[in-house]
Amino acid sequence: MKTRTIPVSALAMAVAWILCVMPAAGTAAESLLTVAQDGSGQFNGVNEKPIQAAIDAARRQGGGEIVIEAGEYLIRSGLRIAGATNMTIRGKPGAILRLPPMPNALMIEAAAIGASALSVDNVAGFTNGMRLHFCAPGKTNRFTGKPDPYFIARLARVESDRLVLAEPLAFAAPAKTRLYPEAEPNIFHVTKSSAGIVIEGLTLEGGRRASDPKISGHVVRCGVLAEGGYRYESGLIGLPVRGLVVRRCIIRQCFGRGVAMYAVADGVVEDCVIEDTVDEAIDLDHFATGCRATGNRVARCRVGVELNDANDCLVRSNRFEACDAGINLWRWCRQPELNVRNRILDNQFLDTSRSAVAIQTGTASNIVSGNRIRGCGGIGVFLGGSHQTLASNTVCAARGVSIAVAGSDNAITDNHCKMATGAGKRESVAIRITGDRNRVTGNVVQPPPGVAVQAVLDRGKENQVSAP
C-alpha cells in the first residue's frame, strides 16, 4: 500500500478546520450557569450579586443559559444586561426576585425657591447624599415647551424629622409634594443593542406595599425595562434592543411598568401574569417595532397595554381585568409614519374603570378586531386617527357610548353593541360619530329592554352610515 504524504501546510489547515467546527471541551458546561442559595450553584447568594455575576459571565462567553434555583433574591441595585446576546435567564419554580420597599415621604409644609431644609412626614430609608425626586413642576422641557412634572435636588443629611438639602431648592414645592429617591432600580434593565435575551419563569416583585401610595415610577421600579438608543427629535440613534422575550413570568407590585420596551425591535411579552402595577402593565414605547404582547393576564393596573409611537405591533388574546384602561395607542413624537399598522385582536376586557380601547389622534392604519368588552366605566372603544379598521368587536355595558368615532376615513363594521342596564345614568346613544368620511356598516345595537336608544348619532360630514 502506498503511503500518501500530506503537506504540513494542508495538514495544519485541516486540523484548524476540525477545531473550528467541533465544540471545545467544556463548552456545554460553560453555557449553562446556575444560581442558587444553598451552595449548589456556580454562583451562590441571596441577593442580586450572584445573578449579576452569572449575567456578566454569560455575556463574556457570548451567551448561554442561566438557571435561577428556588428562593427569594433581594434585588437592591437592579440587574443590568448591556450589549449581551443569546442569553436565557430561566427561573425554577419558586424563584422570586424582589425589590426592597421604596422610601417615600410627603412634605408637611411648602418649600419656596431657595429653601435648604424640608419638613416631611417620614425619613425612613432616606440616606445622606441621595438625590431626591420631587413630584412638583420643574424646568421647562425643550421638547414640550412645558414644565417637567418633577425636579431633582440632592440630600445632604437626614435628621429626625426633616431632610437637609445640599443646595438651596431651584424650584418651589407645595405642601404634600411627594418625594422619593431618584436612582431607584428596575429588576432587569436591558440596554446597548442587546439581542436574543429571554427572561422566563421568574416571579418579579416590585416592592410596593399595600400601605404605599400610587407613585408613578415611569422608568424606575419596573419589572423589565429595555432601552435601545433613541431621541424624541430624531428617532433611533443607534441599534435597537432586538428579540427580547419575557415569557411565563409573574410580575406584580411595581411602581413603574411591568415590562417596558423603548426602541425595541421584535420584542415579545407572552403568557405572563402582571398584577397591581401603578403604571402600565406592558408598555411598547418610542420606536418599538414588530413587538408582540400575547396570551397575558393583566389585573388591576393603570393601563393594560400602552403603545406610544409604536409600529407593526401585535396585541392578541390577552385578558385585562379591573384595569383603569385596557389598551391605549397614542402619539408623542412628531416623526411621520408612527403609530401605524398595529393590530389589536381577540382580547378580553373586564370591568375597566375608563375606556377599554383608545386609539388616539395622530395614529393611522391600525386594526381593532375580535375584542370582547364587558363592563366599562367610559367609552367602550374610542377611535381617532385615520384609515383604521374597527371590526367584529363586542362591547357590552359601557357606561359611555359603546363606540366613539372622532377620526376620519375609518371603517367601523360588524360590531355588536350591548348597551348598559341597571341603575345610574346610561348613555342613550350606541355609536357616536364626530369625524368625517367614515364607513359605518353592518353593526348591531342591542338596547336595554324597554329603553329607547339612538343607535347612531352622526355629527360628522360625508359619513356612510347604515342603520343597525
- Fold that domain 63-102+184-346 belongs to in CATH: Pectate Lyase C-like (2.160.20)
DSSP string over 141-208? PTTTSSB-S-EEEEEEEE-SSEEEESS--SS-B-TT-EEEES----SEEEETT-EEEEEES-EEE---
d(CA 260, CA 254): 12
CA dihedral for 255, 216, 270, 414, sign (positive or negative):
positive
pLDDT in 10s for each residue of the chain, 468 residues: 333 333 334 334 333 333 322 333 344 445 899 999 999 999 999 999 999 999 999 999 999 999 999 999 999 999 999 999 999 999 999 999 999 999 999 999 999 999 999 999 999 999 999 999 999 999 999 888 999 999 999 999 999 999 999 999 999 999 999 999 998 999 999 999 999 999 999 999 999 999 999 999 999 999 999 999 999 999 999 999 999 999 999 999 999 999 999 999 999 999 999 999 999 999 999 999 999 999 999 999 999 999 999 999 999 999 999 999 999 999 999 999 999 999 999 999 999 999 999 999 999 999 999 999 999 999 999 999 999 999 999 999 999 999 999 999 999 999 999 987 654 445 689 999 999 999 999 999 998 887 778 899 999 999 999 977
CA dihedral for 150, 252, 45, 55, sign (positive or negative):
negative
d(CA 221, CA 215): 10
Stated pTM of the model: 0.91
Per-residue pLDDT at 48: 98
- At residue 433, the 3 state secondary structure works out as strand
Per-residue pLDDT at 319: 98
Domain ranges in the chain are: 63-102+184-346, 105-183, 354-468
**Given this structure, which CATH class describes domain 105-183?**
mainly beta
Domains 63-102+184-346 and 105-183 belong to one CATH topology: no
- At residue 30, the 3 state secondary structure works out as helix
Residue 425 is placed in which grid cell?
345614568
User: Per residue in 233-252, pLDDT tens?
Assistant: 999 999 999 999 999 999 99
CA angle 53, 59, 63 (to 5 degrees): 120
Q: Identify which of 287, 204, 282 has the alpha carbon closest to the alpha carbon of residue 241.
A: 287
Cβ 242 vs Cβ 193: under 8 Å: yes
Per-residue pLDDT at 64: 96
Per-residue pLDDT at 57: 97
